[in-house]
Chain A
Amino acid sequence: MSAVRLGLLAMVAILLAGCGERVQTIPPGGERKSDTAVWENKDKRFLAPGWTPGNENSWNSHLVDRTQGQNDYAPRK
């Protein structure tokens, strides 16, 4: 196989690889997305036990309790 053919094949392969690029344009009408509140989670598979999804106060107090798990001077429960 000649070097020209090899070169052409490589060029075609590179050009075809470009088709795998993901589209990066902003979807029409979707320029600004608003993030949902962190305590709103429909996916229940990986939830930590001890709080109620959708309840802000429950999430807040649960996170404070969980943060205390990093405190090795905290009184033992």
Chain B
Amino acid sequence: MARMKFICDAERCIECNGCVTACKAEHDIPWGVNRRRVVTLNDGVPGERSISVACMHCSDAPCMAVCPVDCFYRTPEGVVLHDKDICIGCGYCSYACPFGAPQFPTNGTFGLRGKMDKCTFCAGGPDENGSQAEYEKYGRNRLAEGKLPACAEMCSTKALLGGDGDVVADIFRTRVLNRGKGSEVWGWGTAYGRPTQGTPGAAPAPAKKS
């Protein structure tokens, strides 16, 4: 069974915002809502890095943990989705999410904070796959069409990878091995260990006796 994940290669991201545009166009996202956005660190400074960020479909999602009405669920493919018919738009998930993924559209006549909206990994929601109701609430269900998320498939430099976690991790690893660098890339140290943390798997140094 596939377990869907995104990886963004900061060495390749050129901050073109193609992923953001693709997402907005594919799902008819209203003004003021960005399911995906590009974040740049040290903007304008030599060595700046950009990364495309959206819902990371966490395996132990904090939004799911804090939701007071339990509107979230995880599909067998590991995609974290929510039911907008149950969501009350309280905003707890946005405080819990470390990526700022939950968005709150100011739709409705009086521009009140609406139901939460976030990246669905292009997997729609709990309505019938490919139905109009699903499209209006959650956007296009590309996974049910046998496609990958629009942002990843539209990425011109293939910086943003989306798909089965094992496959995209392997693609990323091959890339890093071929270009001969990558340990400085965000997330690499967490996944594979940093040089300052010692060799992964090595026995820990004995503690000093006082």
Contact = CB atoms under 8 A, between A and B. Distances in A.
A67 B126 contact: no
A50 B171 contact: no
B108 interface: yes
B126 A63 contact: no
A58 to B, nearest CB: 9
B175 A30 contact: no
A42 B75 CA distance: 19
Contact of A47 (B81, B145, B155): B145
Interface string B75-107: 111000101011000000000000000000000
B171 A71 contact: yes
Interface stretch (B37-45, B159-167, B195-203): B159-167
A45 B143 CA distance: 14
Q: Size range of the interface on A?
A: 35 or more
Contacts of A63: 2, 143, 146, 148, 163-164
B17 interface: no
A70 B163 contact: yes
Contacts of B85: 26-27, 30, 33
Contacts of A40: 129, 144
Contacts of A74: 171
Chain A contact residues, majority secondary structure:
loop
B31 interface: no
B22 interface: no
A51 B146 contact: yes
Nearest to B114: A24
B110 A41 contact: no
A3 B9 CA distance: 60
B158 A39 contact: no
Contacts of B59: none
Contacts of A36: 128-129
B139 interface: no
A1 interface: no
A52 to B, nearest CB: 10
Given A18-B110, A21-B108, A26-B86, A35 B125 contact: yes
Contact of A67 (B73, B86, B109, B163): B163
Interface in A18-76: 18, 20-22, 24, 26-27, 30-43, 45-48, 50-51, 59-60, 62-64, 66-74
Given A21-B108, A71-B174, A33 B126 contact: yes
22 contacts: A18-B110, A20-B109, A26-B86, A33-B85, A35-B73, A35-B81, A35-B126, A38-B129, A43-B129, A43-B130, A48-B146, A66-B148, A67-B161, A67-B163, A67-B167, A68-B167, A69-B153, A70-B158, A70-B171, A71-B171, A71-B174, A72-B158
